[in-house]
Amino acid sequence: MMADGPATGDLFSKFDELIAMREGLLAGGQEDPFSLVMEKVLSPTQAICNGRDTILLGTYNYMGMTFDDDVIAAGKQAYDEFGAGTTGSRVLNGTFYHHRDVENALKEFYAMDHAMVFSTGYQANLGIISTIAGKGDYIILDIDSHASIWDGCKMGDAEVVPFKHNDLDALEKRLRRVPEGAGKLVVLEGVYSMLGDIAPLKEMVSIAKKYGAMVLVDEAHSMGFIGEHGRGVCEAAGVIDDCDFIIGTFSKSVGTVGGFCVSNHPKFEIMRLVCRPYVFTAALPPAVMASSATSIRKLMHNGNKRAHLWENSRTLHSGLRALGFQLGTDEPQSAIIAVVMPDLERGAAMWEALLKEGLYVNLARPPATPANMTLLRCSLCAEHSSEQVQTILGMFERAGKAVGII
């Protein structure tokens, strides 16, 4: 037993409030929304959870590539020919044929000169942001930025200046105040993953350029889906050529794991020697790289799947709204539809009621969410059939009525 009272020196005491909140939530027999086990995964949209057939509406498998035959075959072949792992850094023994190949696939996908692959998207943000913006430089970022962006800022030595979410005036005001001659990096996201809203990139990039800032856009949630070629919100907004760095991940539309940065900057390759989260960690296994390269090349020719995913997004958004749920955006802007819950208790109850119906969604709470919101985040997949979307709406209706939310 831990002694009561102050000054115990227990470094875990800072988590007491969170521990109490979690215990309070689970005390009534509520299933833990943060430790669900997928006992079997049947397809990009179906799994067995707690012995039950479950529709998956809370993964980032936007394009359903996890079960693509070619993606799996490429991984199996790489296992056979290159072994299970790299056992080393990219700059030493960890660059295999497939690491180069996946970087070439990214250059083709984005039509850009340089591509650098990291072990995760988290590390890509951490590495690029902390390395390019150093002492005396300024990072101007949207306040709702992903944790990996904030952590990248923390790891570097630059001045960090947040601005109000998606607010053009606030961005310009911050830029105007940066001292003359200082290096400036504006950090934005294409799709903000909590509410599923997109950034007004056309205007924002133009403001950034007016003040001579470099621009980094995290397109984690739009790659493969948004834009004519699936390059993201930058492409849809017609500003891809003005983006100095695009950050992305393989853990969403690509369907594997890994992160990357693409750029046209002529000196970009030096990053491979100076970016610590790239240098001081092991390179991803060859099978993951082979699967990723195959997936990226297939995503270049997926117009029909993109159209179906948009249709799913519109149907779910309008259906939930018609049922009386409060949503994170007035219109569907991405593959993420966020349903706003009145509080954590009812959010958790709704999450559990949906799971018992056979539907998995993400429960999200502060600090991940903006404005202290509890959200049930639905992320659609191009492989969800139109019938599945109707089934999902029926589940939301029954659960919402049972919990008293609608």
Secondary structure of 129-140 as H, E, C letters: HHHHCCCCCEEE
Q: Does 189 participate in binding ligand PMP (rule CB under 6 A)?
A: yes
Of 236-265, binders to ligand PMP (CB under 6 A) are 249, 251, 259
Q: Does 125 participate in binding ligand PMP (rule CB under 6 A)?
A: yes
Nearest approach, Cβ of residue 120 and ligand PMP (Å): 4
Please, is 165 exposed, middle or buried when counting C-beta atoms within 10 Å of its C-beta (0-12, 13-18, 19+)?
middle
| E strands in 298-373 | 336-341, 359-360, 362-364
Q: Which of 121, 127, 285, 328 binds ligand PMP (CB under 6 A)?
A: 121
Nearest approach, Cβ of residue 372 and ligand PMP (Å): 19
Q: Does 295 participate in binding ligand PMP (rule CB under 6 A)?
A: no
Beta pairing, strands 214-218 & 184-189: parallel
Nearer to ligand PMP, 54 or 292 (CB): 292
Q: Does 146 participate in binding ligand PMP (rule CB under 6 A)?
A: yes
Q: Does 150 participate in binding ligand PMP (rule CB under 6 A)?
A: no
Q: Does 64 participate in binding ligand PMP (rule CB under 6 A)?
A: no
Nearest to 95 by CA among 294, 295, 285, 297: 285
297, 276 Cβ separation under 8 angstroms: no
Nearest approach, Cβ of residue 304 and ligand PMP (Å): 26
Residue nearest to ligand PMP (CB): 121
Nearest to 380 by CA among 64, 68, 52: 64
| E strands in 239-397 | 245-249, 259-263, 336-341, 359-360, 362-364, 374-379
Q: Which of 201, 204, 214, 220 binds ligand PMP (CB under 6 A)?
A: 220
**Residue 189 bridge partners (DSSP):** 218
User: What tokens does 357 get?
Assistant: 């119906």
Nearest approach, Cβ of residue 386 and ligand PMP (Å): 27
Nearest approach, Cβ of residue 66 and ligand PMP (Å): 14
- Provide the binding-site residues for ligand PMP, judged by CB under 6 A: 120-122, 125, 146, 148, 189, 193, 218, 220, 249, 251, 259
